[in-house]
Structure 1
Amino acid sequence: MTQSDPFRSCRPFSLLLTKSKAFQQQAQNDINAMNTDVWGTCNTDVPQDQCDGNMAWFASALQSSCRTDLANQVEMAVDTLTALQAYDLMRNAACQVDADTNAYCYVEAVANSDPSSYWFYQLPLGQPLVPITNSACNSCMKALMSMYADALSSTNSTSLGGLVKTYGDAASSLNNACGSSYAKAASVSSSNSALTSFSMPGSMVLLAVLFFTGALFGT
């Protein structure tokens, strides 16, 4: 999957954040490299709606081929499915721009010596928020949490199980640090309870063979 063009051309931020050692260990320590990586994530040659379809197909294929691992809560399978389903939301989160500085909010969070803002980008992946300081009380985090709340209540959203588990406590933590109602309340749409079935695009038939017979993550 990770070596296929439909995957790589869409540069899924959700999986870069969790599975790419180069992104985690190298780009995180080089603000220019990080800015370049995020820019590439936001400006893919493939249109975003097509990328949404690619990731939805991969998620559907994973649910079929890794049914047993998912039922047994095998970490690799569960984390990968969560990241695939959060593709669209996390791409939008990564591409959010600070109106005051014209910089990517995520890049600012990485560059900040206080990592409080950074941890909010882990919420859609099911990672609970760690203790934060009032450094997170900024316009980027307020807008990010609003984006999350809207995604949870949207009838058009795909399954966002990771965010469902983490949003409420994170919103409470942010409100405690920044003032009541700083983070929007969210009501989870019933449409988020399951992933819609997707048909396989003709251009991805070969990927089925690669996906079902190969390892999930290559080198």
Structure 2
Amino acid sequence: MIVDTTLVIPRSSMTTIPAALAVETLMRDDRMPVKLNGEWTFLSQGEMVELRKRDDIDTAVTTAAETTTTTHGKTTTANAKTTVTTKAETTKGDGTTTTATTKTTKTTSSSPLPSFFDSSLASNFSTDSACPAFINAFLTNPTFKKCYPFSLLLQGSRSFFDAEKSLVSITQVLDATCAANATFCTTYLNSLAANLTEASNCGADYKLGNSIVVQAYDGMIGYQPLYAASCLTDPDTGAYCYANAITNLTTTANVYFYYLPLNSSLPTSGSEPSCNWCLKQTMAVFRSAAADRKKPIANTYLSAAQQVDTICGPAFVNDTLPAAITSGAAILLRQGLSLHWLAPTILLSAAVHFVL
């Protein structure tokens, strides 16, 4: 607002001022400059008071956690989306009001997948060992990354341990591991295990019991049963059985069973497992794998099944080992193939073998 101000200039005894200039009128701008939306706007004092009183900026923040839990073979998305809408009203000198609206949407992508042996690759190796180079080579191999074996994450991965603290993050991991071609990856990892124990690679360190090498070997040959078990989903909730087990802070004992194919027995004492569908089906997967007597699961299944039946009731799981399979059938099992359709062929081959 521009106001008229009358300024009276007194006559000076030493200066003669014409009568026409004895009184003058000056124009003074009392408005205050305010910068809104990057532009300077001049407002009167009254307008400034009204601007301060008015809630001129409305901010709406909406946060939605988008979590998609899918079954085997599909990718889980877990993104945090934040939308901020800002409205700014500007009052011009002519009394008109303009509104500027700004909408910003920020999407936070899922955290990176856990890495293998990210906390223990500095383990001591034998002198002049080629093992560290061999391990680094397969860890960076695109084929290995495509398989992304759950069995090798269970031991020696700090980032996997961190991922287990959240249902969303562990579901992401399981989605990635279950998206692999199990048949191809079983064959690939069995071959990789054989190469691992070669004298020119990690053979000497394996014989010395180097923890990294042993864990890598057990994870490779234990891939197939752990793939099948970790990809089981609860029919009632649709969530992965392993995800439910690892995030259940009340009953933690069900997690121990996933280490059976890695040549680890159940602890003799501790909390009792939940006698649910997931446990029953997981043990069924492991029993089937125990038909290959060369697998570590053949050494750990029987005592684990007996413990389960003691807690969950007789015959909750089968506490006997299946019949040992022939070498040819063992190869098929290592490749992740079902043996149900081969049963007549196996029996016939066995009969011919005994006859001969």
Query: Under TM normalisation by the shorter chain, which class is it?
Result: 0.7 to 0.9
Other-structure match for 1:144: 282
Question: SS of the counterpart of 1:29?
Answer: coil
Please tell me whether the aligned partners of residues 233 and 240 of structure 2 are also in contact (alpha carbons under 8 angstroms): yes
Deviation at 1:132, TM superposition (A): 4.8
Deviation, structure 1 residue 61: 0.7
Q: Tell me the CA shift for residue 190 of structure 1.
A: 5.8
**How far, CA to CA, are the matches of 1:187 and 1:172 in structure 2?**
14
Partners of 1:116 and 1:102 lie apart in 2 by: 21
For residues 122 and 146 of structure 1, what CA distance do their matches in structure 2 show? 15
Q: 2:317 aligns with which of 183, 188, 203?
A: 183
Amino acid at match of 1:4: N
The answer for the alignment partner of 1:22 in structure 2 is 159
Deviations 1:68-107 (A, max 9, x none): 2223333222221111001111111110111121111000
Q: How does 1:36-51 map to 2 (within 5 A)?
A: 36-44=172-180, 47-51=181-185
Q: Give the direction of change, closer, same or farther, for the CA distance of 1:191–1:66 in structure 2 (3 Å limit).
A: farther
2:213 corresponds to which residue?
Answer: 77
Count of matched residue positions in the alignment of Structure 1 and Structure 2: 187
Task: Provide TM-score, normalisation by structure 1.
Answer: 0.78
Task: Please say if 1:120 is aligned against 2:254.
Answer: no
CA RMSD in angstroms, aligned pairs only = 2.0
Alpha carbons 1:89, 1:151 under 8 Å: kept = yes
Highest RCO, 1 vs 2 (Cα 8 Å, sep ≥ 6):
1
TM-score between both structures, scaled by the size of structure 2: 0.49
The 5 Å alignment of 1:92-103 reads: 92-103=228-239
Alpha-carbon shift at residue 134 of structure 1 (Å): 4.3
Q: 66, 69, 85: which is aligned to 2:202? A: 66
Give the match for residue 224 of structure 2. Answer: 88
- Post-superposition shift, 1:20? 1.8
Quick check: which one's helix share is greater? 1
Which residue is equivalent to 2:295? 160
> Within 1, Cα distance between the matches of 2:281 and 2:206?
33
Structure having the higher Rg: 2
Match of 1:199 in 2: none
Where do 5+ consecutive residues of structure 1 fail to align?
197-219
Structure-2 residue corresponding to 1:201:
none
Could you report, residue by residue, the CA deviation over 1:145-199 in whole angstroms, capped at 9, with x for unpaired residues? 111111112xxx58412x122212111111111011212121362658xx97xxx
Q: What is the identity percentage for the equivalent residue pairs of Structure 1 and Structure 2? A: 26
- Structure 1 counterpart of 2:322, one-letter code: S
Kindly indicate which of the two structures has a greater share of residues assigned to strand.
2
CA deviations over 1:11-51 (Å, ceiling 9, x no partner): 10001111221111x2111110111110111113xx22221
CA contact (8 A) 1:132 1:173 kept: no
Aligned to 2:282, the other structure's residue is in SS state helix
C-alpha distance in 2 between matches for 1:159 and 1:22: 31
Which consecutive unaligned segments of at least 5 residues does structure 2 have? Answer: 1-137, 332-356
Q: Structure 1: how far apart are the matches of 2:326 and 2:159?
A: 35
Q: Secondary structure at the match of 1:129?
A: coil
Conserved? CA contact 2:152–2:215, under 8 Å: no
Q: Report deviation, 1:54.
A: 1.8
Q: Cα distance 1:190–1:74, how it changes in 2: closer, same or farther (>3 A)?
A: farther
CA distance in 1, matches of 2:169, 2:298: 32
Q: Is the 8 A contact 1:124 1:160 kept in 2?
A: yes
